[in-house]
Structure 1
Amino acid sequence: MITLQKTPIIAALKKYADDRTIRFHMPGHKGGQIPHNEAISFLGSQAFFADVTNVPGMDDLHQPHGVIGEAQNLAALTFGADQTYFLINGSSCGLQALVMSACNPGDKILVPRNIHRSILSGIILSGAVPVFFLPEYDSDYGIPLGTSPEAIENCLQTHPDARAVLIVYPTYQGIASDLETIAKIVHQYDIPLLVDEAHGPHFGFHEDLPKTALEAGADASVHGTHKMLSSFTQASMLHIKGNRINRQRLEATLKILQSTSTSYLLLASLDGARAQMDNHGREFVQQALETSLFLRNELKKINGYQILGEELLGRAGVFNIDQTKINIGITNLQISGLWAEQWLRQNHHIQVEMADIFNLLLLVTAGNSQSDANSLLQGLKEMCNYIELHPEVTESYSTIKGINPFPYIPELAMSPREAFLGSPSSLSLGQALGHISAEVITCYPPGIPVICPGERFTPEIIQYLSVMKELGIHFQGCYDTSLETVLIIKE
């Protein structure tokens, strides 16, 4: 009989600690026994004591037959998968592995434009050719919504030779597409539906949340277990259902992408988070939903804020909404989300999950207390009062008013892999018009590519990047993070 409450990796670590084994093996800190290390003083010696490597009894992530294999099997049962793989290189690693498993060089893969840049990395590594499609879009909040089944059907009719379809479910803001209908359409072409479910590992533990991707018919999904559950950052899971994924190739790919120096702290946190949700999942999600509902109701009472909610249901691309994500539109205050994020952090020691030019995004879990919620409400009220007393802070709003935060998809002149491996040259951003990008440029967060390797710079993209640069946005992916210059392909 399988006991879901078991935590085999944690049990093995406890046994190793109890045995007081003398360590003539890696890592060099020998369980935290070396003095004068500030990290040991800050984190505690127990964390270092549990930081072991794959010594006998601890199994091997790349060839699991012992406690790791057992923990992964338990996770598969918990999350409704046929097979689950633990990831120590983040959800990025899992998404890259899925793309590389499904596609050979030159193969087409359908992907929405609001993908995380890690998926683009998988496309570059695989040599696949992305067929981008635009998700639905909300102009009030300036955010991408979900993907409509009609968009997928149209894309597949145009590109019937596509080898896979990848969907973001849910979006960063918690928007869930009609994945069941999408899965039926994709499977008519006998190709796999891959799902970036990084922000949905808590789905399936409460009836008021969207269905899990696997429940809706996906062939594979990747969970950022650390995003909404309680594992350590960088600890994630990859789930497989059915036989459309070549598991032999997937496992070989994971062996290439994952570190051979496995972190048992990350594995133990996955083991613990899984058991925690087995025992208390619905209770924890219920707490998060109650806190979120309280915040949503109170935020609606404060003039100036728009709260994305169920009023979007029924629109194209919006089949369901994860209420634990709270997207706060602040355009009525005539400030940018970037300014608001900084003001809250500096004046109230509150850090939101993400800020873009028009919004603040909150992620609510059972780890957020009523005190947290009250402090946030107080901070947002005081910020409104501050803006009213200091109208000069709204002067820069004219810079962003009317900008399209989701530039149209430019021409793909060559595959991302060809551009990545090409001979780059440096140009100023203003001179890049018409040239092919040799690099990915993303505003981070959320990490959605503005331009990908192989795409041509358009006036809209150059204008958008110039405005983001003026606003002090953090760029990722590009060689020159100041964006004074960009890398282009010599033609």
Structure 2
Amino acid sequence: MKEDRERAPLAEAVACYAAEQVTRFHMPGHKGGKGISAAAARIMGRRVFELDITGVEGMDDLLQPTGVIREAEQLLAQAYGAEASYFLINGTSSGMQALILSTCNPGDEIIVPRNMHKSMVSGVILSGARPVFVSPEVDPDFGIALGVTPEKIAAALAAHPQARAALLINPTYYGTTSDLTTIAAQVHGRGLPLLIDEAHGPHFYFHEGLPPGALTQGADAAAQGAHKILCSLTQSSWLHVKGGRIDRGRLQAVLAVLLSTSASYLFLAALDLARLQMVKEGRAILERTIELAERLRRGVRQLPGLTTFGAEYCGRPGVKGLDPTKVTVGVKGLGLTGQQVELYLRYRHRIQVELSDLYNVLFIVGPGNTAEDIDKLLAALAALVKDEAGRRERTELPPALPPAPRQILTPREAFFAPAESVPLAAARGRISTETVTCYPPGIPILCPGEEVTAEIIEHIEVMKSNGYRIQGPQDGGLTRLRVVKE
């Protein structure tokens, strides 16, 4: 019923408990804020501590819900057209790990994109699965990884008939989406589940001007970050399941292993309220958000040296659709790096971007942004263009990635193997225990268990000398690499 959908039972229960002014002889130690310091009260406010409770009488149990948490999760499933939904208080990462552990046993193959998120790497390590990598498309102008094409998924399925699942990112960080309807039909044709990292797409289900959500295109499960675009708290996420290809009993058992036994009711209440906001006002909020994002896009196109893309980008290989709330601005026409532009905006104009890479800065326009925000940003970008007038040195494109190396061990085997740190030049022929990723395009050069080749070492040295950002290794400067000990 509409009246039920427009309630937030879990958040309401938390508020009622705080209003009762119960004398607390339970965790946490601050006892509803009575024990906090003056500095904590000044900086954080007392209300957050009043609402910071634990699983006391009437608050239910996240790992075995039967009361208000179960009711809130049922309302969440209704909102997203799922058959079962779960609150996550360890971020979307825990959802991705749970899906991998629920579908794969040690040694099983799972089809994953080469630009897989760290949570996928950790899920593969925890499960002992063997990843079958599929390369995403890469845009040559912006240097960003796009989606995976149905043709590549079909080839991976044919080459690996024993695979247990396929896992994809949709949308990408930059907002591009894949043809999930076609891919779901291919994966289901083999009797396998399609798992989606939908961390950046929980808003897709509430406005027709956005790409369709993964669950509406045949996905069997999707993990979402309710805080990335929507208005929940950081680290709070959702996991949705639909259909019978996911063993829900095993999934719930895995979640009980992964999730904290001390669930934050601040996170849980925020998740309940974020769902309620979308159900009641989602379309209107997103209509305004999309309009602001398009206003930013139009303004950027008027500034010489800056580039961006919109709906015209769709239809390229790996780009079925685009989330308009993600505005990627290419800056290489100014002769600057994205990192330089990020620092300029932060310290000259008090504007913080979502991310920067060598060529781009990414802006996420969300429900909390205003028309004044867009005007301020466009004015700052105009000042940047004026300050850099005449520079216009075009940044060189990165060299093509070397061939994917041979996988000798599974990521789990490499992770738990005795390891040692060696100079990068001495790592040739050794087995990496680390992931090495260069931005752009954000596709790993090395993953745990793979052989370090001469081509990979040469590529890394070229990227380092040209100032590209490298993530993953313990040695951030990548003069050394951790490899399996001989």
Q: Is the TM-score greater than 0.5?
A: yes
Q: Secondary structure at the match of 1:487?
A: strand
Deviation at 1:144, TM superposition (A): 1.2
Residue 452 of structure 2 corresponds to residue 457 of structure 1? yes
Query: Structure 1: which amino acid aligns with 2:140?
Result: S
Q: Which residue of 1 aligns with 2:406?
A: 411
- In 1, the alpha carbon distance for the partners of 2:176 and 2:402 equals 20
Native 8 Å contact 1:307 1:328 kept in 2: yes
Q: Which residue of 1 aligns with 2:13?
A: 12
Q: Deviations over 1:325-348 (max 9, x none)?
A: 111112211221111111111111
Native 8 Å contact 1:183 1:217 kept in 2: yes
- In 2, the alpha carbon distance for the partners of 1:35 and 1:163 equals 50
Q: Which residue of 2 aligns with 1:99?
A: 100
Q: How does 1:105-184 map to 2 (within 5 A)?
A: 105-184=106-185
Native 8 Å contact 1:116 1:449 kept in 2: no
Q: 1:150 to 1:464 in 2, by over 3 A?
A: same
Deviation at 1:123, TM superposition (A): 0.3
Q: Which moved more, 1:188-197 or 1:474-483?
A: 474-483
- In 2, the alpha carbon distance for the partners of 1:439 and 1:216 equals 35
Native 8 Å contact 1:116 1:447 kept in 2: no
Q: Secondary structure at the match of 2:228?
A: helix
Q: 1:431 aligns with which of 426, 429, 433?
A: 426
Q: Deviations over 1:234-265 (max 9, x none)?
A: 00000000010011111111111111110000
- In 1, the alpha carbon distance for the partners of 2:292 and 2:106 equals 47
Q: 1:32 to 1:475 in 2, by over 3 A?
A: farther
Deviation at 1:311, TM superposition (A): 2.4
Q: 1:467 to 1:268 in 2, by over 3 A?
A: farther
Q: Which residue of 2 aligns with 1:219?
A: 220
Native 8 Å contact 2:203 2:230 kept in 1: yes
Q: Secondary structure at the match of 1:352?
A: coil
Native 8 Å contact 1:116 1:448 kept in 2: no
Native 8 Å contact 2:398 2:463 kept in 1: no
Native 8 Å contact 1:52 1:264 kept in 2: yes
Q: 1:447 to 1:3 in 2, by over 3 A?
A: farther
Native 8 Å contact 1:440 1:449 kept in 2: yes
Q: How does 1:339-350 map to 2 (within 5 A)?
A: 339-350=340-351
Native 8 Å contact 2:331 2:338 kept in 1: yes
Query: Structure 1: which amino acid aligns with 2:163?
Result: A
- In 2, the alpha carbon distance for the partners of 1:403 and 1:445 equals 8
Native 8 Å contact 1:117 1:449 kept in 2: no
Deviation at 1:228, TM superposition (A): 0.6
Deviation at 1:470, TM superposition (A): 5.5
- In 2, the alpha carbon distance for the partners of 1:366 and 1:104 equals 41
Q: Which residue of 2 aligns with 1:290?
A: 291
Native 8 Å contact 1:132 1:409 kept in 2: no
Q: Which residue of 2 aligns with 1:232?
A: 233
Native 8 Å contact 2:205 2:212 kept in 1: yes
Native 8 Å contact 1:142 1:358 kept in 2: yes
- In 2, the alpha carbon distance for the partners of 1:184 and 1:406 equals 31
Deviation at 1:317, TM superposition (A): 1.6
- In 2, the alpha carbon distance for the partners of 1:141 and 1:407 equals 19
Q: 1:405 to 1:375 in 2, by over 3 A?
A: farther
Q: Deviations over 1:21-64 (max 9, x none)?
A: 11111111111111425233211101001000000111010000
Deviation at 1:488, TM superposition (A): 0.6
Q: Which moved more, 1:48-57 or 1:379-388?
A: 379-388
Deviation at 1:312, TM superposition (A): 2.3
Query: Structure 1: which amino acid aligns with 2:105?
Result: N
Q: Which moved more, 1:333-342 or 1:44-53?
A: 333-342
Q: 1:295 to 1:464 in 2, by over 3 A?
A: farther
- In 1, the alpha carbon distance for the partners of 2:439 and 2:64 equals 35
Deviation at 1:80, TM superposition (A): 1.1
- Structure 2: runs of 5 or more not aligned: none
- In 2, the alpha carbon distance for the partners of 1:52 and 1:123 equals 34
Q: Which residue of 2 aligns with 1:256?
A: 257
Q: Which moved more, 1:28-37 or 1:52-61?
A: 28-37
Q: Deviations over 1:169-213 (max 9, x none)?
A: 111111111100100000000010000110000001111111110
- Structure 1: runs of 5 or more not aligned: none
Native 8 Å contact 1:197 1:221 kept in 2: yes
Q: 1:478 aligns with which of 446, 452, 473?
A: 473
Query: Structure 2: which amino acid aligns with 1:181?
Result: T
- In 2, the alpha carbon distance for the partners of 1:455 and 1:425 equals 15
Native 8 Å contact 2:145 2:443 kept in 1: no
Q: Secondary structure at the match of 2:168?
A: strand
Native 8 Å contact 2:358 2:468 kept in 1: no
Q: Secondary structure at the match of 1:388?
A: coil
Query: Structure 1: which amino acid aligns with 2:154?
Result: E
- In 2, the alpha carbon distance for the partners of 1:315 and 1:446 equals 17
Q: Which moved more, 1:479-488 or 1:39-48?
A: 479-488
- In 2, the alpha carbon distance for the partners of 1:346 and 1:449 equals 31
Q: 1:331 to 1:26 in 2, by over 3 A?
A: same
Q: 1:459 to 1:101 in 2, by over 3 A?
A: same
Q: 1:362 to 1:405 in 2, by over 3 A?
A: farther
Q: How many residues align?
A: 485
Q: Secondary structure at the match of 1:86?
A: strand
Residue 387 of structure 2 corresponds to residue 386 of structure 1? yes
Q: Secondary structure at the match of 1:144?
A: coil
Q: Which residue of 2 aligns with 1:192?
A: 193
Deviation at 1:460, TM superposition (A): 4.8
Native 8 Å contact 2:138 2:441 kept in 1: no
Q: 1:304 to 1:243 in 2, by over 3 A?
A: same
Query: Structure 2: which amino acid aligns with 1:193?
Result: L
Q: Which residue of 2 aligns with 1:281?
A: 282
- In 2, the alpha carbon distance for the partners of 1:279 and 1:85 equals 20
Deviation at 1:430, TM superposition (A): 3.1
Q: 1:296 to 1:29 in 2, by over 3 A?
A: same
Native 8 Å contact 1:403 1:464 kept in 2: no
Native 8 Å contact 1:143 1:405 kept in 2: no
Q: Could you tell me the percent identity over the aligned residues?
A: 48
Q: Secondary structure at the match of 2:377?
A: helix
Query: Structure 1: which amino acid aligns with 2:6?
Result: Q
Q: Which moved more, 1:132-141 or 1:477-486?
A: 477-486
Q: 1:265 to 1:474 in 2, by over 3 A?
A: farther
- In 2, the alpha carbon distance for the partners of 1:486 and 1:264 equals 41
Deviation at 1:405, TM superposition (A): 7.5
Q: Deviations over 1:73-95 (max 9, x none)?
A: 00000111100000000000000
- In 2, the alpha carbon distance for the partners of 1:87 and 1:214 equals 18
Q: Deviations over 1:279-304 (max 9, x none)?
A: 00001111111001111111111011
